[in-house]
């Protein structure tokens, strides 16, 4: 029982130390807010522009970069920002589709089965 108390004390101390450390690290904080979405269907710079333009209309999305070569859209979220659903919807309205990680895994599974 005493051992458990000590264990909890140690755990608590280390987790709060981590929190403090994390809070002080601005760079780490910024990295946490950067989002990368897999977007399918972009073929050229015009497609990239269509996506960025749509996303710019949303609240709290900064530093938007779309890449048709990588099939990715990256952006940084401000403190108050649009929801995931709103972001996915905006991309859809621009004519493209967000591929969720789960879909990708599912596709890979399917592919692995086929071969």
If the CB atoms of residues 46 and 83 are measured against Cu ion, the closer one turns out to be 46
**In the complex, least distance from residue 48 CB atom to Cu ion, rounded to whole angstroms:** 7
Return the number of the residue (3 or 43) whose C-beta is nearest Cu ion. 43
Rounded to whole angstroms, the Cα distance separating 101 from 12 reads 33
- Least CB distance to Cu ion at residue 46 (A): 4
Interface region with Cu ion, contact rule CB under 5 A, candidates 27-35, 38-46, 56-64, 85-93: 38-46
Tokens of 63: 């530093």
- DSSP letters, 47-109, are HHHHHHHHHHTSTTEEEEEEETTTTEEEEEE-SS---HHHHHHHHHHTT-EEEPHHHHHHHHH
What does the per-residue mask of binding to Cu ion show for 39-78, with x meaning CB under 5 A?
A: ----xx-xx-------------------------------
Nearer to Cu ion, 42 or 82 (CB): 42
CA–CA separation, 104 vs 110, rounded Å?
Answer: 10
44 DSSP 8-state letter:
S
Which residues bind to Cu ion, rule: CB under 5 A? 43-44, 46-47
């Amino acid at each position: 029982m005493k051992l458990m108390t000590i264990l909890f004390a140690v755990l608590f101390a280390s987790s709060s130390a981590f929190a403090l450390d994390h809070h002080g690290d601005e760079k780490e904080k910024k990295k946490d807010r950067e989002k990368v979405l897999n977007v399918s269907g972009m073929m050229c710079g015009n497609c990239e522009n269509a996506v960025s333009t749509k996303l710019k209309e949303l609240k709290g999305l900064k530093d938007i970069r779309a890449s048709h070569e990588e099939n990715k859209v990256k952006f940084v979220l401000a403190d108050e920002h649009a929801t995931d659903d709103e972001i996915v919807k905006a991309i859809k309205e621009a004519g493209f589709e967000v591929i969720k990680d789960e879909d990708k895994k599912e596709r890979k599974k399917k592919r692995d089965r086929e071969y």
